[in-house]
Amino acid sequence: MWLTWRAAMEHALYGESGFYLRERPSSHFRTSVGASPVFAEAVLRELAAIDEALGGPDVLDLVDIGAGEGELAAGVLAAAPPALRSRLRVTAVDLAPRPPALPEEIVWSRAAPDGIHGLVIANEWLDNVPVDIAEQTADGPRLVMVNVTDGEERLGGMPSEADLAWLDRWWPMRAVGERAEIGRPRDRAWASVIVRLARGGAIAIDYSHALDDRPPYGTLAGYRDGAMVAPVPDGSCDITAHVALDACAASGESAGAVTTALTTQREALRALGITGGRPPVEQARNDPRGYLQALARASEEAELIAAGGLGGFGWLSQSRH
């Protein structure tokens, strides 16, 4: 069966017995959430800052979109001090079924709630929102079609007018053979988050690229059992493509965001106090146990902010008030 990449990804990842409805993401790849509980602590710091800015509302929302196994939502809840925890309403949003061990207080839902007061966090969600792929030909961009059983590709028709306009604005292809991942469904997905935010902040964290630095042949990739594999959309592997977060930012602004910051995870986490700083060596003599704990934490922090690794992820942070 030949489909556009968007339809093929939709079916492979979220169709009946699709990859994400069947598998535990952590068995296949490592995200910041799984890398260290320090990530949840940083999210809690961001949430506390929003709480303060909102004047400590009676109910403070934390909404985790693309929650996977719910580890981040559970981690923030567990780390929250009692005065915050008692006001916290945590919603984990995913298309997958509710994980069995999730704490009862966490609401599990297939869609984000309306009227959010607090923080929305979406770690590695948008890269799994299916996109079509276009290839530049001598006659202009054409859609790439894929055979869902073996991943073979061939060219199809022209992209829609709306997709052509998106390509012009956000991912102009220059030479024949170049490929672009048409991010319009991600822009819409992100806008749908911003319209649900009544007051507070929304953060999307993902592998990303910007208009002046798009990869000329795209970023489509497959992952299975911790290894990169050919992206065959047969439901046997994760299929992902990096995110044009600058386009999502513009879409979020059109949907009502009043502030936008686009930075790296390294910079964002450093601003939240995650620096990877090592404990002083004298501590090794006075408090060897504490020293070892501090050293382990420093190495987890360092992984989250490593420039060539997780620290290189894009952080799109927008707010409404």
Ligand X SMILES: C[S@@+](CC[C@H](N)C(=O)[O-])C[C@H]1O[C@@H](n2cnc3c(N)ncnc32)[C@H](O)[C@@H]1O
Closest contact distance (angstroms) between CB of 288 and ligand X is 34
Alpha helices in the chain (DSSP H): 5-14, 19-22, 32-35, 38-53, 71-79, 82-85, 161-170, 184-196, 245-254, 265-271, 282-286, 288-305
User: Does 206 sit near ligand X (CB under 6 A)?
Assistant: no
94 binds ligand X, rule: CB under 6 A: yes
Give the residue, chosen from 63, 66, 133, 159, that forms a contact with ligand X under the rule CB under 6 A: 66
Span from 1-9, 88-96, 154-162, 276-284 in contact with ligand X (CB under 6 A)? 88-96
Give whichever of 31 and 265 is closer to ligand X, judged by the CB atom.
31
Among 3, 8, 33, 90, binds ligand X (CB under 6 A): 33
* Cα 179 to Cα 286: distance, rounded to the nearest angstrom: 58
Q: Of the two residues 192 and 283, which places its CB atom closer to ligand X in the complex?
A: 192
Q: What is the CA radius of gyration of the chain?
A: 21
* Residue among 76, 80, 93, 146 that touches ligand X (CB under 6 A): 93
Alpha-carbon distance 313 to 310, whole Å? 6
- Indicate whether 31 belongs to the interface with ligand X (CB under 6 A): yes
Return the residue of 4, 123, 208, 265 that touches ligand X, per CB under 6 A. 123
Q: How many CA atoms lie within 13 A of 154 on its CB side?
A: 7
The answer to whether residue 34 forms part of the interface with ligand X (CB under 6 A) is yes
Neighbours of 115 (CB within 10 A): 9
125, 170, 171, 223: which one binds ligand X (CB under 6 A) = 125
How far does CA 181 lie from the centroid of its chain? Answer: 16
Using alpha carbons only, give the angle 3, 248, 225 rounded to the nearest 5 degrees: 55
Q: Is 124 in the site for ligand X (CB under 6 A)?
A: yes
| 309 three-class SS | coil
Residue 13 beta carbon to ligand X: minimum distance, rounded to whole angstroms: 7
Please give the residues from 8 up to 27 whose contact with ligand X meets the rule CB under 6 A: 20, 25
How do 88-93 and 107-109 pair as beta strands?
Answer: parallel
Looking at 49, 53, 78, 95, which residue binds ligand X (CB under 6 A)? 95
Residue ranges binding ligand X (CB under 6 A): 20, 25, 31, 33-34, 65-68, 93-96, 123-125, 128-129
